[in-house]
Amino acid sequence: MPTFEARAKQIKIVIFDVDGIMTDGSLYFCEDGSEIKTFNILDGQGIKLLQKAGIKTGIITGRQSNMVKKRASDLGIDHLYQGREDKIVVLDQLLKDIDLSYDNVAYMGDDLPDLPIIRRVGLGITVANGHPTVTEYAFWQTTKAGGKGAVREFCDKLLSARGELDELLQPYLS
């Protein structure tokens, strides 16, 4: 079985679920029915480091939210798909459109709708508080919970495994 490092070198796009990955999975509703989500700033910096390394980014989420659209825009996420429970169908079409294979994908998810993708891609990742079945099939699991820096933990590990993290950190160290 290929190592994390070998798989990491094949990754050209990282795709994230939102609830439970980029957020802590809690749903906050206002009296008017609008929704509030909180995102971790460390995770955003991790995504920006991926982009600086030339790795494309994407979101596939089952829920629809203007806040996710704003966060994706603020971070320069390349591909955004919301309101899609058929995540593997979305991924198949995306890979066809950008001419990549499953081996070129890292996907980060936490629950059963993410499982078909996690089982197929080059790097299927879950968070510390991912569902036990997802944990069983994920190639790697973060030590941090979703919405609590797990995205950043994975981004740093991926970039380190590719031998790119130290160079990306240099502008902040000089």
Q: Is the pTM of this model over 0.75?
A: yes
Backbone phi, psi, residue 29, to 5°: -120, 135
Tens digit of each residue's pLDDT (9 = 90 or more) over 131-150: 999 999 999 999 999 999 99
The per-residue pLDDT for 1 is 79
The owner of tokens 């890979």 is 95
Tens digit of each residue's pLDDT (9 = 90 or more) over 13-71: 999 999 999 999 998 899 998 888 999 999 999 999 999 999 999 999 999 999 999 99
The per-residue pLDDT for 124 is 98
* 44-66 b/e (C-beta count within 10 Å ≥ 16 → b): bebbebbbebebbbbbbbbeebe
Cα–Cα distance for residue pair 112/132, rounded to 1 Å: 10
Residues 6+ apart with CB under 8 A from 51: 57, 76
pLDDT for residue 123 is more than 90: yes
Cα–Cα distance for residue pair 121/98, rounded to 1 Å: 15
Tell me the two tokens of residue 20: 């439970």
Q: What's the one-letter identity of residue 120? A: R
Q: What is the mean pLDDT of residues 94-119?
A: 98
The per-residue pLDDT for 57 is 98
The per-residue pLDDT for 140 is 98
CA–CA distances in Å: residue 118 to residues 29, 73, 137, 165: 29, 25, 7, 24
